[in-house]
């Protein structure tokens, strides 16, 4: 009997590895889907939900989406096309909170993306996703949730924030430790000015990963 060519053996090994990887991530998505309803319910029962997306003014909601996830209502959990969308949609941000204890970039990003696309987005409507997001996201200095962030950084409820104050909070979400208004006021102020140019239309993000808007400084 002739031995199989070396190239054939390598191909078989690669196919086996790919099948194993596929099976692993398929199982992770199924586990995420099974846990999603209970996880959402636990969030609502935990006392962490202090406001809903309906508590935002239309302008505040527009700012949140424009800066944090401009393709939110068009995508299905993942966005590889919209300029300024970056690595992480709102849905992916929630997937990170829901399905990981100690998230690290790398292979975990694959699971985060798949769970956002095939578990969280199909099972949780967009309005609920937004409500969860504004209540669960980290704003630096141990502060989670927009309501607590407004109280901590500006001693105001969200509804009373000026537009610049609101932008200061939303703008720090890409780096809550390094951009929050208390610890890094200069960097936060620069971020606010860049965002205002995006909101006014003076600057348009140049590609998917243009989330810092550095090009706005030239305008």
Using one digit for the tens of pLDDT, what is the confidence trace for 8-56?
A: 878 878 888 888 887 888 899 999 999 999 999 999 999 999 999 999 9
The residue whose two tokens read 């706005």 is 216
Q: CA-CA distance, 91 to 83, in Å (whole number)? A: 17
56/53 Cα distance (integer angstroms): 6
Q: What is the pLDDT of residue 101?
A: 81
What is the pTM (predicted TM-score) of this model? 0.90
For domain 52-218, the CATH architecture is Orthogonal Bundle (1.10)
Proportion of the chain above pLDDT 90, given as a percent: 83
The secondary structure of residue 119, as a DSSP letter, is I
C-beta neighbour count of 4 within 10 angstroms? 10
Helical H runs in the chain? 6-45, 58-68, 90-99, 107-115, 121-123, 126-136, 146-154, 163-171, 176-179, 185-200
Summarize pLDDT for 86-135 with one digit per residue, the tens: 989 999 999 999 998 877 777 789 999 999 999 999 999 999 999 999 99
Residue pointed to by tokens 């992480």: 88
How do the domains of the chain map onto residue ranges? 52-218
Which backbone phi and psi does 19 adopt, to 5 degrees? -65, -40
């Amino acid at each position: 009997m002739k031995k199989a060519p070396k190239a054939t053996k390598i191909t078989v090994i690669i196919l086996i590895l790919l099948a194993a990887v596929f099976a692993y991530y398929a199982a992770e998505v199924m586990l995420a889907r099974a846990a999603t309803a209970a996880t959402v319910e636990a969030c609502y029962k935990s006392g962490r939900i202090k406001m809903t997306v309906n508590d935002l003014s239309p302008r505040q909601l527009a700012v949140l989406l424009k800066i944090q996830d401009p393709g939110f209502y068009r995508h299905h959990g993942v966005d590889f096309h919209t300029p300024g969308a970056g690595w992480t949609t709102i849905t992916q941000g929630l997937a990170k909170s829901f399905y990981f204890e100690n998230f690290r970039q790398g292979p975990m990003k694959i699971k985060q993306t798949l769970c956002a696309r095939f578990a969280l987005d199909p099972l949780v409507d967009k309005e609920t996703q937004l409500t969860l997001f504004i209540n669960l996201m980290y704003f630096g200095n141990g502060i989670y949730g927009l309501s607590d962030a407004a109280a901590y950084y500006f001693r105001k409820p969200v509804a009373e924030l000026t537009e610049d104050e609101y932008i200061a909070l939303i703008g720090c979400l890409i780096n809550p430790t390094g951009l929050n208004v208390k610890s890094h006021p200069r960097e936060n102020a620069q971020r606010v000015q860049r965002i205002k140019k995006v909101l006014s239309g003076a600057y348009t993000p140049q590609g998917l990963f243009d989330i810092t808007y550095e090009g706005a400084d030239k305008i």
